[in-house]
């Protein structure tokens, strides 16, 4: 179908997966309300299944979206493969979340279904956030996603830690939204448009690169994004928010929220400011180096596995920023590949944390993992694979992803960043392996230490899917690599393909 945005219906078609998901969210909400009367049921798998169906439908709609073509390249909603690809990533994260969340609700005796509605709405926000070409619409997506996730963080109303985490996240998130919005205003003030393509034209022609207003606007946008992706020094909220949030939500935040913010980051900067890459490229590379070093150092001393994973997610933001700083099609493709792998391993790791944590998620200290591997081999092996993949070990998707980012960096002559990346990974080996050594080398407190761990069918399905995905992408990454490379071809003119823009 060819869309030229001459009529309103064209806009609706361009928003097909978002529409499907929004409508489905309303449906889930209604069903939840009418079912709530029945309090005798211990859990409500029906709602989870219904949500899952919605996600599958959205994925189908997304596939259909991939066949649409647009007139020109400056429509408000982008109709490119990059958007289709990132949409799949968000849906994947949401789908895994639904599989795992059921176990959480059961564990905490929570009978309400808002969690599922909110996750669908957050996914809609992400899709708009990452798929739009207009700064105002991007902001709407950002807010829709953020508000849903603030509530998700505090979903467990009986848990004071969750309330604290939610409030912290909300305050700092609001702060970052303000930065972002101010950036949008300044960019609009100097470029007289909020459309990314128009901004790019104006910046390129008028030599606005020297305009302080535009530069400040650009930097403020970057700060807003840096908050959302949790890059150092804007990461302070992350450990508390992840620690307090329910484990499935933390996994969803670490994977999908970060993926959305990064995808939007990439789209905005590669579409609107490619000619200013000399400036922001160095800025992003600097932040990346800082993030990789600081996050990995702090993670080495964490005794709480959930907090360790929070710092690990900050560290991974650093790796992704290296790909962003490379600003090439290789960089963008490596970034997309990494998002998929990262989603699988992060959601998987948090799922293990969830079931080991048990009610109230009280068992998140590393001591509770002693001997886990021998008593619960499936959990132990799955967790070991997630950890090895997070560390970037060969034959896992994490290795291919990291290798891809390294490749993008070296290709651009960013040897320093590449060396920092591998040295930071080395630090990360220590803290990932530490969990592995607790699981396999230590003896548990008593012979029944891990008897009470209950793995629901949903969690099992999520773990199996994640493990298979990670190993598959680690051994046969070829097809996904090709898709990722095709999906970033749209940035070729902006970034000049794989060729270096500048050599430092």
Partner 1 sequence: MEAFLNSIGYSSWVLHFLLLFPLAGMAAVLLAPAERAKHVAFGASLVEFVVSLPIWSAFNAASGAFQFTMDAPLDWIPAWGIHYYVGIDGISVLLLLLTTLMTPIALLGSFRYIQAREKTFYAMMLLLETGVVGVFVALDVFLFFMFWELMLVPMYFIIGIWGGERRIYAAIKFFLYTAVGSLLMLVGILYLVFKLQAQTGELSFLYSDLLNVSLTFREQVWLFAAFALAFLIKVPVFPFHTWLPDAHVEAPTPGSVILAAVLLKMGAYGFLRFLLPLFPQAATHPTIVTVLLVLGLIGVLYAAWVAAVQPDAKKLIAYTSVAHMGFVVLGIFAMTVQGVQGGMIIMLSHGASTGAMFLLLGMLYERRHTRQIADFGGLAAVMPVFAAVFVLTALASIGLPGTSGFVGEFLALLGTFQTHPWIATFAAAGVIFAAYYMLPMVQKIVFNALDKKENAELPDLSRREMAVLAPLVALMIWIGVYPKPFLERMEVTVVELLQDVDQRRLVNPPPLGELIGSRSVDGLSDR
CA 270 to chain centre: 19
Under rule CB under 8 A, residue 441 binds partner 1: yes
What's the rounded Cα separation, in Å, for the pair 465 and 357? 21
Under rule CB under 8 A, residue 367 binds partner 1: no
What's the rounded Cα separation, in Å, for the pair 77 and 68? 12
DSSP class of residue 43 equals -
- Of 478-497, binders to partner 1 (CB under 8 A) are 478, 481-482, 485
The site that binds partner 1 (CB under 8 A) totals a number of residues, namely: 34
What's the rounded Cα separation, in Å, for the pair 139 and 20? 21
Shortest distance (Å) from residue 468 CB to partner 1 = 16
Token code pair at residue 193: 């448009």
What's the rounded Cα separation, in Å, for the pair 45 and 105? 10
Under rule CB under 8 A, residue 365 binds partner 1: no
CB 123 within 8 A of CB 256: yes
Residue 111: helix, strand or coil by DSSP?
coil
Under rule CB under 8 A, residue 301 binds partner 1: no
* Look-up of token digits 């270096």: 500
- Residue from 374, 375, 460, 496 in contact with partner 1 (CB under 8 A): 374
Shortest distance (Å) from residue 183 CB to partner 1 = 33
- Residue from 136, 433, 489, 501 in contact with partner 1 (CB under 8 A): 433
Under rule CB under 8 A, residue 303 binds partner 1: no
Among residues 181, 177, 189, 165, the alpha carbon closest in space to that of 242 is found at 165
Shortest distance (Å) from residue 408 CB to partner 1 = 10
Among residues 200, 225, 211, 223, the alpha carbon closest in space to that of 491 is found at 200
Q: Which is nearer to partner 1, 13 or 374 (CB)?
A: 374
* Look-up of token digits 């591998």: 422
Under rule CB under 8 A, residue 472 binds partner 1: no
- Span interacting with partner 1, options 29-37, 126-134, 297-305, 412-420, rule CB under 8 A: 412-420
- Span interacting with partner 1, options 188-196, 251-259, 270-278, 390-398, rule CB under 8 A: 390-398
DSSP class of residue 235 equals -
- Residue from 426, 445, 461, 468 in contact with partner 1 (CB under 8 A): 426
- Residue from 99, 124, 221, 406 in contact with partner 1 (CB under 8 A): 406
Q: Which is nearer to partner 1, 66 or 498 (CB)?
A: 498
Under rule CB under 8 A, residue 415 binds partner 1: yes
- Residue from 378, 416, 468, 493 in contact with partner 1 (CB under 8 A): 416
Q: Which is nearer to partner 1, 11 or 430 (CB)?
A: 430
Shortest distance (Å) from residue 327 CB to partner 1 = 16
What's the rounded Cα separation, in Å, for the pair 422 and 427? 9
Token code pair at residue 446: 């008593």
DSSP letters along 183-211, please? HHHHHHHHHS--BHHHHHHHHHHHTGGG-
Under rule CB under 8 A, residue 205 binds partner 1: no
- Span interacting with partner 1, options 179-187, 265-273, 317-325, 387-395, rule CB under 8 A: 387-395
Token code pair at residue 185: 């205003």
- Residue from 59, 284, 309, 388 in contact with partner 1 (CB under 8 A): 388
- Residue from 12, 69, 437, 497 in contact with partner 1 (CB under 8 A): 437
CB 462 within 8 A of CB 96: yes
Shortest distance (Å) from residue 322 CB to partner 1 = 12
Residue 412: helix, strand or coil by DSSP?
coil
Omega prior to 233 cis, within 30 of 0: yes
Under rule CB under 8 A, residue 371 binds partner 1: no
Shortest distance (Å) from residue 484 CB to partner 1 = 9
What's the rounded Cα separation, in Å, for the pair 64 and 16? 9
* Look-up of token digits 């097909």: 16
Under rule CB under 8 A, residue 503 binds partner 1: yes
Among residues 149, 125, 152, the alpha carbon closest in space to that of 139 is found at 125
Among residues 128, 316, 149, the alpha carbon closest in space to that of 241 is found at 149
**Quick one: residue 70, left, alpha or beta (phi over 0 = left, psi -120 to 50 = alpha)?**
beta
Phi then psi dihedrals of residue 67, to 5 deg: -90, -10
- Span interacting with partner 1, options 94-102, 290-298, 306-314, 477-485, rule CB under 8 A: 477-485
Under rule CB under 8 A, residue 410 binds partner 1: yes
Q: Which is nearer to partner 1, 167 or 489 (CB)?
A: 489
DSSP letters along 453-468, please? ----HHHHHHHHHHHH
Under rule CB under 8 A, residue 289 binds partner 1: no
- Span interacting with partner 1, options 121-129, 243-251, 315-323, 409-417, rule CB under 8 A: 409-417
CB 424 within 8 A of CB 292: yes
Under rule CB under 8 A, residue 133 binds partner 1: no
Q: Which is nearer to partner 1, 11 or 437 (CB)?
A: 437
- Residue from 103, 168, 407, 450 in contact with partner 1 (CB under 8 A): 407
The binding site for partner 1 (CB under 8 A) comprises 374, 388, 393-395, 399, 403, 406-407, 410-411, 413, 415-416, 418-419, 422-423, 425-426, 429-430, 433-434, 437, 440-441, 477-478, 481-482, 485, 500, 503
């Amino acid at each position: 179908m060819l869309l030229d945005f001459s009529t309103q219906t064209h806009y609706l078609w361009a928003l097909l997966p978002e529409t499907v998901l929004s409508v489905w969210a309303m449906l889930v909400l209604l069903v939840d309300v009418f079912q709530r009367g029945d309090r005798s049921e211990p859990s409500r798998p029906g709602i989870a299944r219904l949500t899952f169906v919605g996600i599958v439908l959205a994925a189908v709609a997304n596939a259909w979206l991939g066949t649409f073509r647009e007139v020109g390249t400056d429509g408000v909603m982008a109709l490119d493969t990059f958007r289709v690809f990132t949409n799949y990533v968000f849906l994947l994260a949401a789908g895994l979340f639904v599989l795992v969340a059921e176990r959480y609700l059961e564990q905490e005796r929570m009978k309400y279904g808002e969690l599922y509605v909110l996750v669908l709405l957050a996914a809609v926000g992400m899709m708009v956030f990452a798929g739009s070409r207009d700064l105002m619409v991007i902001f709407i997506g950002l807010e829709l996603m953020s508000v849903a996730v603030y509530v998700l963080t505090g979903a467990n109303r009986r848990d004071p830690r969750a309330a604290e985490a939610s409030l912290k996240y909300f305050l700092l998130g609001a702060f970052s939204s303000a930065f972002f919005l101010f950036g949008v205003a300044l960019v609009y003030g100097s470029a007289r448009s909020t459309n990314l393509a128009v901004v790019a034209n104006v910046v390129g022609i008028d030599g606005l690169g020297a305009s302080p207003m535009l530069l400040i606007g650009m930097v403020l946008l970057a700060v807003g994004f840096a908050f959302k992706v949790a890059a150092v020094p804007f990461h302070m909220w992350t450990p508390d928010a992840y620690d307090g949030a329910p484990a499935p939500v933390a996994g969803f935040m670490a994977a999908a929220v970060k993926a959305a913010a990064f995808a939007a980051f990439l789209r905005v900067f590669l579409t609107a400011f490619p000619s200013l890459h000399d400036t922001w490229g160095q800025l992003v590379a600097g932040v990346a180096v800082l993030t990789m070093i600081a996050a990995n150092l702090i993670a080495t001393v964490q005794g709480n596995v959930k907090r360790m994973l929070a710092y690990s997610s900050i560290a991974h933001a650093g790796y992704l920023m290296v790909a962003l700083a490379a600003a090439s099609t290789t960089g963008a493709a490596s970034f997309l590949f990494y998002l998929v792998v990262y989603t699988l391993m992060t959601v998987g790791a948090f799922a293990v944390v969830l079931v080991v944590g048990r009610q109230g998620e009280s068992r998140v200290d590393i001591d509770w993992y002693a001997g886990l591997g021998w008593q619960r081999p499936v959990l132990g092996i799955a967790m070991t694979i997630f950890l090895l993949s997070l560390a970037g070990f060969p034959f896992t998707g994490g290795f291919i992803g990291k290798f891809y980012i390294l490749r993008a960096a070296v290709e651009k002559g960013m040897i320093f960043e590449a060396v920092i990346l591998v040295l930071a990974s080395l630090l990360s080996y220590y803290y990932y392996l530490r969990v592995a050594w607790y699981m396999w080398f230590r003896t548990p407190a008593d012979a029944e230490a891990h008897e009470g761990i209950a793995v629901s069918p949903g969690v099992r399905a999520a773990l199996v899917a994640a493990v298979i995905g990670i190993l598959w992408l680690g051994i046969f990454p070829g097809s996904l690599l090709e898709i990722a490379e095709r999906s970033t071809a749209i940035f070729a003119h902006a970034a000049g393909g794989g060729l270096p823009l500048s050599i430092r």
